[in-house]
Homo-oligomer: A and B are copies of this chain.
Amino acid sequence: MAQPRTIALDAMGGDHGPGVVIPGAALSLERYPDQSFIFFGNEAEIAPLLDASPALAARARVVHTAQVVAMDEKPSQALRRGKGSSMWLALEAVQKGEAHAAISAGNTGALMAMSKLILRPMPGIERPAIAALWPTITAECIVLDVGANIGATARQLTDFALMGAAMARALFHVERPSVGLLNVGVEEIKGAEEVKEAHALLKGAGELPLDYRGFIEGDEIGQGKVDVVVVEGFAGNIALKTAEGTARQIGQYLKDAMMRTTLSRLGALLAKGGFRVLKEKMDPRRVNGGTFLGLNGIAVKSHGGTDALGFASAVDLGYEMAESGLLERLASDLEAFHHRLGSVSPASN
C-alpha cells in the first residue's frame, strides 16, 4: 500500500494536457513537498516537461499510454473504448492502492462514469455526488451535488450531508461541520417532498458527525452560513453555473464602470492593488476542482480549460483529502448512520 501521498495524474486530460498538468503538479509539490506522482500519458510529451522540473522529476514516475479519452467523447463511448487510457489508468492506480487520489482535467462525464465503474460506490451509497468548493465572504464552503445526478431521494440527500461533512472535516479542519439543506423560501409550496423528508431524517437521526442547521436559501451560500450545502444535482449545477456567470457579469460591469471617465480610470489605476485583491478573491482557479464523493477512492476533476495554477489547486485538493483519512472516517460514519436509520448497509461486516 502506498503512502497516502501518491497522486495519480491523467497527464493528457484537459484542453492543454501535459503542458498544464506537469507544471501544475510542480506547483503543488512546492506546497506539499511529501507528495509523489505517477503521470499517465504519452511519455514523449511528458519527459521533456519533467526534465525542466528536476524537483518534480525526482518524485515522479511515468506510465506510458498512447490512449486518450477525447474531451467530446460521450461517457458511454469512453467506457467502451477508454480502457487503458490515461484517465482509466490513473483511476485504476487508486483502485489498486498504488495511489491515493486521481486527478484529471479531462471529460467530466467520462471521468464520472469511469470513476464509478473502477472505484465503485462505497457500501450503502446509492449515488456518488460531485462536490464543489464555493468561495464565501468568510472563506469557502462545499456544495454537493453539483451535477453527478439529477434528482435525489431523501435518503440520498442525507448521504450527501455526511459525505460533504467528511470533506469539510478534511479540508476545513472542523470536527462537526455545519450543514444546510438548500430549499426555496416560500412556505407551504407544493413539492420538494424529498427535501422536507431529508430535513426530518437529519433532525431526527440523533448524534451525527455534523451540525445540522436546517434549510438555507440560494443567497445564503455565498454568505458562508454553513460549511456544507446539500442539494440535488440539477439545481446544484444550475446554482454553481449561475454564481460563476454572475461573478463574470459583475466583473464586466466593474470594468465598464471604471473605463467611463478619465477620473474613474485614474481612480482605478490608483486602486489597482485593491482590484488585484478583488480579482484574486474572485479567481475561479483558487477553488478549481470538483470531487467525486461516495466512491472507494478519491477522484478530483479539474476544469478542462484551467492553467497550471488552477490545476495545482486540484492536486492540492486531492492531496489534502487523501492525507486526511477522509474515506475511512466517512465509511464508518455512513455505516453508523445507515444502521441508525434502520437499514443496515448491505456490505457492512
A271 & B264 in contact (Cβ 8 Å cutoff): yes
A314 to chain B, nearest CB (A): 18
Contact of A282 among B250, B258, B267 (CB under 8 A): B250
A266 within 8 A of B: yes
A202-249: which have CB < 8 Å to B? 217-223, 231, 233-235, 237-249
> Is A274 a contact of B260 with CB atoms below 8 Å?
yes
In angstroms, Cα B187 to Cα A223, docked, is 31
User: Given A74-B188, A109-B188, A247-B250: A281 and B257 within 8 A (CB)?
Assistant: yes
Chain A residues 247 to 275 lying within 8 A of chain B, measured CB to CB, are: 247-250, 252-254, 256-261, 263-275
A186 at the interface (CB under 8 A from B): yes
> A156 near B: Cβ within 8 Å?
no
Decide if A150 touches B264 in the complex (CB within 8 Å). no
Kindly provide the distance from the CB of A141 to the nearest chain B CB, expressed in whole angstroms.
Answer: 12
* A182 and B238 contacting across the interface, CB-CB below 8 Å: yes
Q: Does A117 contact B (CB under 8 A)?
A: no
Total interface residues on A, CB under 8 Å, equals 73
Asked if A336 CB lies within 8 Å of chain B CBs, one says no
Q: How many copies does the complex hold?
A: 2
Among A38-46, A84-92, A189-197, A323-331, the stretch in contact with B: A189-197
Distance in angstroms from A256 CB to nearest chain B CB is: 8
Task: Report the Cα distance A263→B275, complex, angstroms.
Answer: 12
The distance from the CB of A127 to the nearest CB of chain B, in whole angstroms, is 10
Give the residue of B108, B147, B260 whose beta carbon is less than 8 angstroms from that of A273: B260
- Whether A184 sits at the interface, judged by CB under 8 Å, is yes
Q: Is the CB of A222 within 8 A of B245?
A: yes
Known: A150-B189, A219-B242. A277 touches B257 (CB 8 A): yes
- Shortest A81–chain B CB gap in Å is 15
Q: Is A188 within 8 A of B76, CB to CB?
A: yes
Residues on the B chain within 8 Å of A231, using CB: 238
Answer yes or no: A341 CB below 8 A from chain B CBs. Answer: no
Residues of chain A from 114 to 144 with CB closer than 8 A to chain B in the complex = 136-137
Question: Distance in Å from the Cβ of A4 to the closest Cβ of chain B?
Answer: 30
Per the bound structure, the CA–CA distance linking A180 and B277 in Å amounts to 35
Q: Taking the complex as formed, is A52 at the interface, i.e. its CB lies under 8 A from any CB of chain B?
A: no
Q: Which residues of A contact B (CB under 8 A)?
A: 74-76, 108-109, 112, 136-137, 147, 149-151, 182, 184-192, 217-223, 231, 233-235, 237-250, 252-254, 256-261, 263-275, 277-278, 281-282
Given contact pairs A189-B233, A218-B238, A266-B271, enumerate 6 new A-B contacts (beta carbons under 8 Å): A149-B190, A149-B191, A219-B242, A219-B248, A260-B277, A267-B272
